[in-house]
A and B are shown apart, each in its own frame.
Chain A
């Protein structure tokens, strides 16, 4: 047996059951992007700081770049592909369009997954609560004002 030998895993991704075999060092973000072709999730800093790779792991936001795929064995994962659909955007997605919550788009999947998780837990967050929650999702384009506005709007609050 070698250290690189794949380990079987079973997990649910965006409501669909998956079985796969992955080497232990495979990160969850690489598994999603390169094994499953779910390229909506981005990798930027690779050390859990920037938030681009944010996914829901058993309903809570997690950094898929510092999570091993083998750690997600048995878990329920939701990626940006599992939030809304092209025909029916999630309210957070629609709000990001309406309020200019993105420019280059690299941080956007992570921002939207994180914002959805916030609203699931706290449907009417204050501006300070939005800032505290999203401070770990870095954006180099918008200056954050539009992102905060988008989350407020998605929660049905005046912006």
Chain B
């Protein structure tokens, strides 16, 4: 029953994040939603390796046999750093856009930049 609870919560969070990404217009909120989506996948990975009576993956004497699966933890480490990098750079870009267009509304920025480039005319 262990992984099921964790994964269910993770997928529900993933869904909430997706909804936030689609339905909210503010760019900063979109980035938060993206962060939620990424964190949900991380939760899912960690929950998958869990065991009901699991011990942390350290080879200290009493609990060597019941350690949880250590590979998802190693995977998650990389995933966390990658998500951090994406969030930091995306925030910098949002700041540059806000300075230029004076709004955080994705639709307005889209229209303004299309008008600038005069593409679909």
Bound pair (A, B): no
Which residues of chain A have a CB within 8 Å of any CB of chain B?
none
